[in-house]
Chains A and B, each alone.
Chain A
């Protein structure tokens, strides 16, 4: 079993839709959670960084962490064609080492 599981998609939605991206993990020692966006032929760029359970909002993006269920989500409201990319979840253990990534979900927002 992989440390971090993420549905690879691909996911295709119409412009303006609400998008939900999810990851599950098995190790309860993960304490820090991130979402990265990766455009084709580019390095990943950080979208959201959270430490505790609950929601964190930044513009059209909301990150949700449920440590009891070992489940994290990223919601994108009013999705735009420019949101078309691969979204990677990432987690760090409470030791500060071992930076784990999911496999990424490919998202296409259709105008």
Chain B
């Protein structure tokens, strides 16, 4: 079974630039999560999708972050404009449904300079 795929693995951008991350979940997984993990901290949920609908985006900074999951499969997370404090690892995870364990991708390490 293929795992959660994310790209790119690493990204360095200047502040105020924009950036996008891509995630392909495990086939058949209806629930998709985007997490932000700052160094030394646990993952923080940014947004949760069930199929192509948003279940929870209460911690997503909507003035600069956006996410979509067209056709209920792949997802993209965008930051525009980026700030220095956005430097973190962005993890995508998927699960069969909201009650089950989530499987994580390798993450995208973003550095904003």
Query: Taking beta carbons and an 8 Å cutoff, which residues of A are in contact with B?
Result: 4, 6, 8, 32, 34, 36, 41-46, 49, 88, 90, 92, 95-104
Cβ-defined contact, B104 with A96, below 8 A: no
A90 to chain B, nearest CB (A): 8
Cβ-defined contact, A99 with B91, below 8 A: no
Nearest neighbor of A47 in chain B, beta-carbon distance:
B101
Nearest neighbor of B105 in chain A, beta-carbon distance:
A43
Nearest neighbor of A45 in chain B, beta-carbon distance:
B104
10 pairs, CB–CB < 8 Å, chain A vs chain B: A34-B101, A43-B105, A88-B43, A92-B98, A95-B98, A97-B55, A97-B98, A101-B44, A102-B42, A103-B42
Residues of A within 8 A of B4 (CB): 43
Cβ-defined contact, A99 with B42, below 8 A: no
How many residues of B sit at the interface, in one of the four size bands? 20 to 34
Task: Flag whether B61 is at the interface (Cβ < 8 A).
Answer: no
Shortest beta-carbon contacts, A-B, top 6: A96-B98, A43-B104, A101-B42, A103-B42, A96-B99, A49-B101
Task: Flag whether B21 is at the interface (Cβ < 8 A).
Answer: no
Task: Flag whether B56 is at the interface (Cβ < 8 A).
Answer: yes
Q: Given A8-B40, A43-B91, answer yes or no on A97-B101 (Cβ-Cβ < 8 Å).
A: no
B100 to chain A, nearest CB (A): 8
Add 8 more A-B contacts to A32-B99, A45-B104, A99-B33 (CB < 8 A). Answer: A41-B109, A49-B100, A92-B99, A96-B98, A96-B99, A99-B102, A101-B35, A103-B41
B71 to chain A, nearest CB (A): 22
